[in-house]
Amino acid sequence: MPGITGKDQVLTTYANKLATLDPVKGRSLTQDATRRLVRNKAAVASIIVVVVIILAAFIGPYFLPWGFSEVDWSNIRKPPNPEAGHYLGTDQNGRDMLARVLQGTQMSLIVAFVATVVSVTIGVIYGAIAGYFGGRVDAIMMRIVDVMYALPYILFVIILMVMFGRNPVLLFVGIGAIEWLTMARIVRGQTLSIKEKEFVEAARASGASSWTIIFKHIVPNLTGPVVIYATLTIPEIIIAESFLSYLGLGVQEPQTSLGTLISAGAPVAEVLPWMLLGPAAVLVTLLLALTYIGDGLRDALDPKDR
């Protein structure tokens, strides 16, 4: 194209025009969805609940008189007692339950967040590539997913633990490595339908490379299903982590997580009920709120699909 070097006189006038232009702001699909989400009362309430839980878990411990591993020798196995600073009582070792619940929530949230990020990243890229290229590439990539599905993940995590020792990082990797499989399948299915849309063909006709098409045209249009599925993955991961910790494969003492706390509280629920009620209440509230957020997001992102 002649004159593309910036010396074009006509172009300069357009550039000046652009500088003085006051363009109308467009309303993107994301903004639309946010507006619909804000109108959904259950979702907004759930978001507030989750934010409060997150803040409490990360900031709360600094305001407590007792640390999560500190032992109060004069208050062992005691019910809630505000005068001694034990608002949720103490466990068999004299450690403050409220401090432990907050620390456990913190750990569960970190595991959930890291594992979700891992599974979304791997799943989206893997699924989009398999779906876009199709044919033999797709068949091989999805058979690998099928094989990994067939592996029981408990076995997978146990093998990891035995080989590398107990380490929270391994827990993230283990859970993330399992959770991405479903994400990859969902993304592949969506990609198959998006790649038949005319705007993808338009991009091909104007010479865009496969990678440009995948990352600029397909992945952004996957936002809806991916965001929805990710919010529903978080509770799943929290439960998986709780389950592994319950089996003693998860987080190590004196660190704790919601699952570890519940597993410690369950056998003594009759004599020391406060050891079970605190962590159980937090876990249930968190899961319920996340599910409502997921539902709200689905309604907001897919207004046709109700």
Partner 1 sequence: MTEQKPILQVRNVSVDFKIPAGGMFGGNKILHAVKDVSFDLHQGETLGIVGESGCGKSTLSRAVIKLIQATSGESLWMGKDILKMSPKELVNLRKDIQMVFQDPLASLNPRMTAGQIIAEPLLIHYPEVNKTERMARVVEMMEKVGLSANMINKYPHEFSGGQCQRIGIARALITKPKLIVCDEAVSALDVSVQAQVINLLMDLQKEFGISLLFIAHDIAVVRHIAQRIMVLYFGEVVEIGESEQVVMQPRHDYTKKLIASVPVPDPKEEMRRRELRRRLRREAAAAA
Q: Which residues bind partner 1 (CB under 8 A)?
A: 1, 4, 6, 10-12, 14-15, 17-18, 21-29, 197-199, 201-209, 212, 216-217, 220-221, 223
Name the DSSP class of 257: -
Q: Are 44 and 38 a contacting pair, CB within 8 Å? A: yes
Task: List phi, psi (to 5°) of 147.
Answer: -65, -45
Quote the distance between the C-alpha of residue 195 and its chain's center.
Answer: 27
For residue 203, which of 192, 214, 193 has the smallest C-alpha distance?
A: 214
Rounded to whole angstroms, how far apart are CA atoms 187 and 295? 19
Q: Of 6 and 82, which has the nearer Cβ to partner 1? A: 6
* Shortest spacing between CB 224 and partner 1, in angstroms: 11
Q: Are 85 and 66 a contacting pair, CB within 8 Å? A: yes
| Token code pair at residue 38 | 């804000």
* Shortest spacing between CB 295 and partner 1, in angstroms: 23
* Shortest spacing between CB 208 and partner 1, in angstroms: 6
For residue 130, which of 121, 118, 117, 140 has the smallest C-alpha distance?
A: 140
* Shortest spacing between CB 35 and partner 1, in angstroms: 14
* Shortest spacing between CB 24 and partner 1, in angstroms: 5
| Token code pair at residue 68 | 């999560």
Rounded to whole angstroms, how far apart are CA atoms 198 and 90? 63
